[in-house]
Amino acid sequence: MSKSKSTRRDFLTKVGQGAALAATGGLVWSYLLQQQARATPFALRPPGAVSESDFNAKCIKCGQCVDACPYDTLHLARAGDHIPIGTPYFTPRDVPCYMCPDIPCKVACPTGALEPELEDINDSRMGLAVIDVENCLSWQGLRCEICHRECPLTDQAITVEHHPRRISKHAMFVPLVHSSHCTGCGICEKACPTQEAAIRVINPRLVQGKIGDHYRLGWTIETPITQEFKSKAKTKEHSTTKRGLDYLNEGEL
């Protein structure tokens, strides 16, 4: 009787010890996984990468995309790189994505972590170019616009807009990124002539805001009232070209 009791106790102890070990090990293990996953937003993925969480699950870390890339753009994150281990990423300032039309990295991916349905490289969204206006040469009034000229989707992803200049009659010509077209290839970041790039590709989730449905931009909506505003705006007189030129050529700048 006492013997069977003690064996039952032994058995329960064994089960308890096993469960405690597995639970402790599992906790430490899942902590390690979370630590790595936390770095996910800072990695720029190859074109066609599926959403962050899906990519983390689907990427088998085989590096076939790295093999396929003809420009050595892609690397696999090594231990200590502060990017989920073994996953492919690129650093545009070193080598940007040159947007091969046949997308060899996507073709090489065996798991579908790089969206097989991506047909046009211009539809890829690797990141979003963001301009640091404090350090952008164009924003200092210089005629740089290198990013605009280097952009593979120039005049769509990056346009040049004129902007009033405080100390001069002359306008500034400043680059403006359009998230509707920017693929995040990073050619602009590579080309930027400043010591540290003033235009950088970043995961849109980290920089992009959202207006939300509770704001209505009246001038974008067709209503009877906005129609009235539009007709009035059209009748407003613009300054003639001649007057504008005279203004620029007369007197102090």
Partner 1 sequence: MSGESRHGRLGPNGRPVRPFVMPSTFSGKLRVWRYIIFRRMVQLGVLLLFFGTVNWGWSIAERPVLSGDLSGSEVLGLIPLADPFAVLQIFFTRHVLQPQVLIGAGIILAVYAFLGGRTWCAWMCPVNMVTDLAAWVRRRLGVRDAFSLGRHIRYTVLALALVLSALTGVAAFEWISPISMFHRELIFGIGLGWTAVLGVFLFDLFIIRNGWCGHLCPLGAFYAQVGRVAQVRVSFDKQTCTHCGECAKLCPEPQVLNLHKATEAGMVASGECTNCGRCITICPEDSLRFDWRWHIKAQGQSKSEDNQVQPSERRAA
Residues near partner 1, by CB under 8 A = 18, 21-22, 25-26, 29-30, 32-34, 36-37, 53-54, 56-58, 60-64, 66-68, 75-81, 84-86, 108-112, 116
Q: Specify the residue, 83 or 130, whose C-beta has the smaller distance to partner 1.
A: 83
Distant-in-sequence, close-in-space partners of 161: CB < 8 Å, separation ≥ 6: 173, 174, 175, 176
Q: How far is the CB of 60 from partner 1 (least distance, A)?
A: 5
Q: How far is the CB of 81 from partner 1 (least distance, A)?
A: 6
**Contact between 193 and 199 (Cβ < 8 Å):** no
C-alpha distances out from residue 60 to 56, 135, 234, Å: 9, 39, 58
What tokens appear for 73 in the block?
């753009």
Q: Specify the residue, 81 or 132, whose C-beta has the smaller distance to partner 1.
A: 81
What is the rounded CA–CA span in Å between residue 144 and residue 242?
A: 27
Q: How far is the CB of 32 from partner 1 (least distance, A)?
A: 5
Q: Specify the residue, 12 or 22, whose C-beta has the smaller distance to partner 1.
A: 22
Counts for the chain of helices (H) and strands (E), in that order: 9, 6
Q: Specify the residue, 84 or 175, whose C-beta has the smaller distance to partner 1.
A: 84
Q: Specify the residue, 25 or 244, whose C-beta has the smaller distance to partner 1.
A: 25
Q: How far is the CB of 110 from partner 1 (least distance, A)?
A: 4
At residue 107, what is the residue type? V
Q: Specify the residue, 88 or 175, whose C-beta has the smaller distance to partner 1.
A: 88
Q: How far is the CB of 108 from partner 1 (least distance, A)?
A: 7
C-alpha distances out from residue 164 to 52, 146, 172, 176, 178, Å: 40, 20, 6, 14, 20
Q: How far is the CB of 135 from partner 1 (least distance, A)?
A: 31
- In a 3-state reduction of DSSP, which class is residue 179? coil
What is the rounded CA–CA span in Å between residue 142 and residue 109?
A: 43
